Amino acid sequence: MVSAEENTYFLRAFEALGVSEARRAADPDTQATIGFNAIMREAADTRSYAAALSVLVVAEWLYLDWASRAPQRPPNNFVHAEWITLHDNPNFRGFVDFLRAELDRVGPARADLCRDFFCRAVGLELFFFEANYTTSVSPADLGTAQAE
């Protein structure tokens, strides 16, 4: 559920934006991406359901929140419109509700662990978006597709 439909979406979006497989392999991860990959591995390594939920809730709930605030009329560019649709639909909303309910159910017994992972995940998401909003991107960096 976490990446099933998103994987094919990202492959099609990369193609539409002219981002080749070679470029994706060559471009280094940002510090925020490295950090988020590390915290997901760390949560998995704990073998704690509560730790994994703490990280997933941050990422998935954030995307639901963003997508649910999008204008009712979807953008013309599928790259934007489909991202919104993937993250604002009854199935995804139900998935996020499930994750949140599960964290509410198991989290109190591991409150310190959950708080630690949740707060660090929030910090990494903030770091990721702040880094991307402060980085200048030219139209050439987006390939042949035009941003809306």
pLDDT, tens digit, 9 for 90 and up, residues 33-73 = 999 999 999 999 999 999 999 999 999 999 999 999 988 88
- Residue 136, pLDDT score: 54
Does 15 map to a domain? no
CB count, 10 Å around CB of 105? Answer: 12
**pLDDT reading at 6 higher than 80:** no
CB count, 10 Å around CB of 90? Answer: 7
Q: Rounded to 10 degrees, what is the CA torsion of 70, 36, 143, 6?
A: -60
Does 12 map to a domain? no
**Buried-state track 28-52, b at ≥16 Cβ within 10 A, e below 16:** eeeebeebbeebbeebeeeebebbb
Mean pLDDT of the chain: 87
Total domains in the fold of the chain? 1
- Residue 134, pLDDT score: 75
Does 70 map to a domain? yes
Residue at 146: amino acid letter: Q
Does 21 map to a domain? no
Does 91 map to a domain? yes
Does 145 map to a domain? no
Question: Any idea what the CATH number is for the domain that residue 61 is in?
Answer: 1.20.910.10
Q: What is the pLDDT of residues 60-108, one digit of tens each?
A: 999 999 999 988 888 888 899 999 999 999 999 999 999 999 999 999 9
Does 23 map to a domain? no
Structural domain including 108 reads: 29-135
- Residue 131, pLDDT score: 83
Does 8 map to a domain? no
Question: pTM of the predicted model, to two decimals?
Answer: 0.81
